[in-house]
Structure 1
Amino acid sequence: MKNKNLLALTLLAAAFNSCTDHFPENPETPVVFKEVASIDLGETAASEISAYDPATARLFTVNNESAAKVDVLDLSAFPAITKLQSIDISKLGGVANSVAVSQGKLAIALEASNKQANGNLIVMNTATLTTIKQIAVGALPDMVTFSPDGKYIVTANEGEPNADYTADPEGSVSIIDVTDNYNVKTLTFGAFAGSYNQLALGGFRVYGPGASFAQDIEPEYVAISSDSKKAFVTLQENNGIAELDLTTGTILKLHPLGSKDISKMANAMDASDKDNKIALAAWPVKSFYLPDAIAPFSSNGSDYLITANEGDAREYAAFDEQKRVSTLSLDATVFPDAVTLKKPENLGRLRVTSTRGDIDNDGDFDVLYGFGGRGFSIFNASTGQLVFDSASSLEEEVIKAGIYDDDRSDDKGVEPEGVTIGMIGNKPVGFIALERVDAVAIYDLSNPSAPKFLQILKTGDAPEGVLYVAPDKSPNGKGLLVTSNEGDGTVKFYQI
């Protein structure tokens, strides 16, 4: 009897060990994320960007709906969440656009009351909430981040024009050296003006009315290398990425991002919100990537960058580059079926730029350029070369999940806006916030040339900020995903 029991136990153990697909080696292996907590900040169009301080177990969230402030959330008893006294910064200037945390310091990017004037960076103690330093930076600081070693704070100063385009400040990047009494160096892009013709061949765009090269550049988001030596800055409306050397405080290169060929079935998209169906198809269109967020990660000893290719256009009272295909004159040789293409159920509703595409300057369009990549891209950080683009696969997963919004088909689709990386089971995992379907797409990036789709996770309305807190820094010792949802003012928390 004893031998029979021993044999049975041996067989059971062997069967258990063979079920590796059901019993992951690491409990943090991504199987499925689920919502574990949520808080409503009480206001619409709030909750934009969040940053977490592990020392105090506090989450800091930008909230500008009623006044310029940063909400402070206590996660020390997580999943219970306590809202503490907000940080009122309304007397310091305009509104806060971004926050970042490192080594007990909170950095707040604050635009001026006059958005075209220089903004400020406020550095505070995360525990006492007292101000450590206020530093002048460029116009409209839109994003702030710390280098991994905490030595540098970098702001992307977008420098947007005013509504009538009579004032257009130069876009810039400010590098603050924390170890040198917060000494600041603000860099502009005028030195690259002579390279524009070559950059334009690669899809780089400079096109604001009356704007110089330096004025037209609009830095959006910053990623910093793991060794804290380089920064990579998306220039969204310009369709490029700037590479900076933080140690010397110089701009090294501008990388044009080209365009996505929608005539290839691999890049198929739904171009109409009036066709009464969701159907991806190839169309005679090229689309500029125009990335918003960017994040760094490493895999197998190499460094990479991932971008969320949102696709923002310039849209002002005095200048709106967007036109629907139905309103354009199309070259008859290139588009012999123009009448059919311009129907609302085909390409007629699609928004394209009016600033490029008339190659022979005869008044009609020879190429149609749309906005956004409707997915994400991965680049080699050392060479700038494209390693992977999600083509139509991300939107295919959204369609499978039953949450695709056909009303956005004519206008950038799912609109990927935010992106962050979490290390889970020693693998880099990407979280891409999809603004127009209220969801986060999750991918295993351990093979950067062939990411593996893991999950579509529903969020609050219009997720803008997406943050991953590693288990060793999380308030409950488990990896924590946080989304800041601009549309409904919620902050949501997810764990495996």
Structure 2
Amino acid sequence: MPARCFTKTLLAISIAAIATTSQANSFNRISSFGAIHNLPEGTPQSQETSPEIIAASEDGNTLVYSDSPFGTLGFVDITDAAKPVAGGSFKLDGEPTSVAISGQTVFAAVNTSESYTKPSGYLLALGLQAREEQARCDLGGQPDSVAVSKDGRYVAVAIENERDEDLNDGALPQFPAGWVSIIPVKKGLPECDKLTKVDMTGLAEIGAIDPEPEFLDFNSHNEIVVTLQENNHLVVIDAASGKILNHFTAGSVELQGIDIEKDKKLDFSGTQTRLREPDSVKWLDDNRFVIANEGDMNGGARGFTIFHKDGRVLFESGSSFEQQVVLAGHYPEKRSGKKGSEPEGVAIGKFGDETYIFILSERASVIGVYRDTGAAPEFVQLLPSGIAPESAVVIPQRNLLVSANEKDLIEDKGPRAHVMLYRFADEPVAYPQIISTRTSNGLPIGWGALSGLTADSTKPGILYAVNDSFYANQPSIFSIDANQTPAKITAAMPVLRDGKTAKKLDLEGIAVDGDGGFWLASEGKTSKGVPHAIHHANSQGEIDRTIDFPAELLKHEVKFGAEGITMIGDTLWIAIQRPWKDDPADQVKLLAYNLKTNSWGAVRYPLEHVSSGWVGLSEIVSYGDKVYIIERDNQLGESAAVKRLYSVSLDQLKPAAIGSELPVVNKTLVHDFLPDLKSLNGYVQDKIEGFTIDAAGKGFAVTDNDGVDDSSGETLFFSLGKM
């Protein structure tokens, strides 16, 4: 069957699955473990860590992961899965690339290469309990993946001898060639002197003389399936004899309905044909295996494929997996010109009577969950992950799934790397909390970086949001139906100027005007040619009026401008994010613009004090006799301290002229968002940016996912109930 037929079939299944996300027997994240907690005492917290490949002990109580930048194996005690405990680390004399566990032995592949042309490495056998080296096998090359047979009789190592991507644009061949090493195991220890080296040269159509084995896995017949990612090839080996049983090309996929340009907008009307170039591979049973089509040199099919070991394609996901990513707001637009969401990892597990396939997207930071049907797998749900999930391990006897998320953004003051745990139980799906629907032509509505929120003045649960300058070439007003779970983005209306996409906008706030149109607050940056301004858009999204900030205000400009807007009578009130040059360090302006007199004024709002980072405003909304204001710090994870909703009574909003002495308002704490931001058991998001109160008096809040750039991509959308 052509790939596009499979895709259409799965799209229909996927749409149905989205509509039933309250089904029982689902996976939900129950805890997260920051890898920095495994740093030895005295190690600077600035040390980069990266849980890359992860394995679980047979009793399911201990996790072991490879940490390449720190050169260690990390241990995590998950006896209480909801409260992981640091188990310490084991220092290696090289770079760990992979890890597997059999019985009481931890097998780790360790890279000690001097250079690309002088690769070397070894296989380490480490006691799980004593954590003492028990054996070491010289591999003679740079190892990548390691796997242990289900009966514990063999260890297989993919010797990649990776290429230098900066040499000749990474083109093959680059010697030495790679191979697969198979080592018998006796009483839990590898018999290094009986190592079998399986030659891979001469098999692939691409780079035949320079194979680069990437990932491998055993079935119960001790057959090994191997991906040659750069060679776009698959090989099946008999472990006992070392003979190649079969090999065949991974082939290519015609992709439809994808974004193919990195252009600060989301357009899923593109079509491409791409080589699969698979990374991870896992046996689904003794005859079928699943590959994640990450791509590398010339590929990136953005999905996954099920093969029979005889070479037949049994199922191709095409663009359907990536479109699920889009619907959940996790699409990484910056990767559009390359490999999109980059599915990289695969895990397989039987929970209850069903077998599940888990597809890990490196760039979208999600895990797709599919139920094996024996034919086209059924999409079940999408799980939020830490940044860049690299591998996962299933612990079916404890109803657990565990992901290792390798990206550590310490240098960018961003989120740290995490291990995350999910429980399979008879519970409603907790995430996503907001999704989009499809357009009339069947394509998903792309969205992300929601930065402002407002409510329809007459229809309960009907909200509107804007995106910020991450999508500078696609400023949009999104319609949201919050009367269902998850909430649904039902439409995206482009913001236009003279009938064309409006430029030089950084939309951070939105308010309904009471007449079908909207007031939009755009955060400016004069040095970048983006003006600080308020815009009015009609019901068709066309900007028909612009109000620039006055000169007497702009002479004190800093880059942190308008972050929210609300309308009270004839006056627009705008929350400025941080103090400008004419403000005290602990106060920020609430600007007022009177639409009848065309005059500006302001009051000052007092900010909380924090020990690290800064505090500023993210939203303002009027309701009843108060305005509600989001005040937050710029910290995330365990450093997050201030994520709060305050109120100010309307009788205090008596603006003075810009440049005069401004009155300072008093504020009252209404709600602390930290428990809400911790409710999904991930790391605390820093940008709680949108808040509104609907026509029935119900409060709603949303976070900004930064367009999935140096972010997990998670968007939290939740209600505070009746205000």
Q: Deviations over 1:21-51 (max 9, x none)?
A: 9xxxxxxx97321111111112545111111
Residue 275 of structure 1, CA deviation = 6.2
Which of 195, 198, 201 lines up with 1:187 in the alignment? 198
* 2:185 alignment partner in structure 1: 178
Q: Deviations over 1:111-142 (max 9, x none)?
A: 11415323100011111111121001142110
Identity %: 30
* C-alpha contact 1:429 1:445 (8 A) present in aligned 2: yes
RMSD (Å), alpha carbons:
2.1
Note the 1:253-332 alignment, pairs <5 A: 253-262=246-255, 267-274=256-263, 276-282=265-271, 285-298=272-285, 303-313=287-297
Which of 52, 60, 65 lines up with 2:56 in the alignment? 52
Note the 1:75-474 alignment, pairs <5 A: 75-90=78-93, 94-115=94-115, 116-162=118-164, 164=167, 168-179=175-186, 181-182=191-192, 183-190=194-201, 193=202, 200=205, 205-206=206-207, 213-214=208-209, 216-228=210-222, 230-262=223-255, 267-274=256-263, 276-282=265-271, 285-298=272-285, 303-313=287-297, 353=298, 371-381=299-309, 383-447=310-374, 449-471=375-397
Q: Which has the higher contact order (CA 8 A, sep 6+)?
A: 1
Distance 1:124 1:307, change over 3 A: same
Residue 168 of structure 1, CA deviation = 2.2
SS of the aligned residue for 1:412 comes to: coil
Residue 458 of structure 1, CA deviation = 0.7
* 1:31 alignment partner in structure 2: 25
Distance 1:167 1:414, change over 3 A: closer
Q: Following the alignment from structure 1 to structure 2, what is the Cα–Cα distance between the partners of residues 35 and 275? A: 31
Query: Which structure's residues are more often strand, by fraction?
Result: 2
Distance 1:222 1:469, change over 3 A: same
Give the greater-gyration-radius structure (CA).
2
Alignment TM-score, normalising by the size of structure 1:
0.72
Q: Following the alignment from structure 2 to structure 1, what is the Cα–Cα distance between the partners of residues 85 and 257? A: 45
Q: Following the alignment from structure 2 to structure 1, what is the Cα–Cα distance between the partners of residues 213 and 24? A: 33
* C-alpha contact 2:262 2:334 (8 A) present in aligned 1: yes
AA of the residue aligned to 1:38: S
Q: Following the alignment from structure 2 to structure 1, what is the Cα–Cα distance between the partners of residues 302 and 402? A: 22
Q: Deviations over 1:188-243 (max 9, x none)?
A: 223xx3xx6xx53xxxx11xxxxxx44x1000000211222x10100000001011
Q: Following the alignment from structure 2 to structure 1, what is the Cα–Cα distance between the partners of residues 65 and 295? A: 25
State the aligned residue count.
Answer: 374
* C-alpha contact 2:180 2:200 (8 A) present in aligned 1: no
Note the 1:61-72 alignment, pairs <5 A: 61-65=65-69, 67-72=70-75
* C-alpha contact 2:247 2:311 (8 A) present in aligned 1: no
Q: Following the alignment from structure 1 to structure 2, what is the Cα–Cα distance between the partners of residues 275 and 128? A: 52
Q: Following the alignment from structure 1 to structure 2, what is the Cα–Cα distance between the partners of residues 30 and 189? A: 46
Residue 82 of structure 1, CA deviation = 1.9
Q: Following the alignment from structure 1 to structure 2, what is the Cα–Cα distance between the partners of residues 437 and 256? A: 27
Q: Which runs of 5+ in 2 are unaligned?
A: 1-16, 18-22, 37-46, 409-416, 425-723
Q: Following the alignment from structure 2 to structure 1, what is the Cα–Cα distance between the partners of residues 369 and 48? A: 26
Which of 421, 446, 450 lines up with 1:493 in the alignment? 421
AA of the residue aligned to 2:311: G
* 1:328 alignment partner in structure 2: none
* C-alpha contact 1:31 1:454 (8 A) present in aligned 2: no
SS of the aligned residue for 2:315 comes to: strand
SS of the aligned residue for 1:287 comes to: strand
* C-alpha contact 1:466 1:483 (8 A) present in aligned 2: yes
* C-alpha contact 1:158 1:171 (8 A) present in aligned 2: yes
Alignment TM-score, normalising by the size of structure 2:
0.50
Q: Following the alignment from structure 2 to structure 1, what is the Cα–Cα distance between the partners of residues 103 and 349? A: 19
Comparing 112-121 and 461-470, the one that deviates more: 112-121
* C-alpha contact 2:58 2:102 (8 A) present in aligned 1: no
